Structure 1
């Protein structure tokens, strides 16, 4: 019984979107909006991080801090493993 209001809301959203997209001008507006939103997203974001990995810029202090923290984490882990042996 609890899912009944949720089902009505989902059905209402579906019907409303169908009615709004029935007009060609509304579909075109939605299409231009999606293209505009896609232009804000970075392209090849994975490649950007792959190129930067392991080669921090000396002037980029935030990145250098993350690299040093990560380096210390692995060193501390290695030291702890050696002490346990």
Structure 2
């Protein structure tokens, strides 16, 4: 009985806090944009425009991790990009 009461109290308080936070129009728009971005990331269709192709193979001189990966000749990013492009 106590567990049901605890869960229902938690649910009611969550709904109340959410309602209060979404009262403002700008907060609602932020939540809508966030949900849209989550949905698009799970849609299954890769967004080719989101790949950082402009810096592929030519990393910034101060970006040590990218420089190390390019100097090692890692083929993983190339294979990943080719798979997503298909």
Which structure has greater helix proportion? 1
Higher Cα Rg: structure 1 or 2? Answer: 1
| TM-score normalized with structure 1 length | 0.47
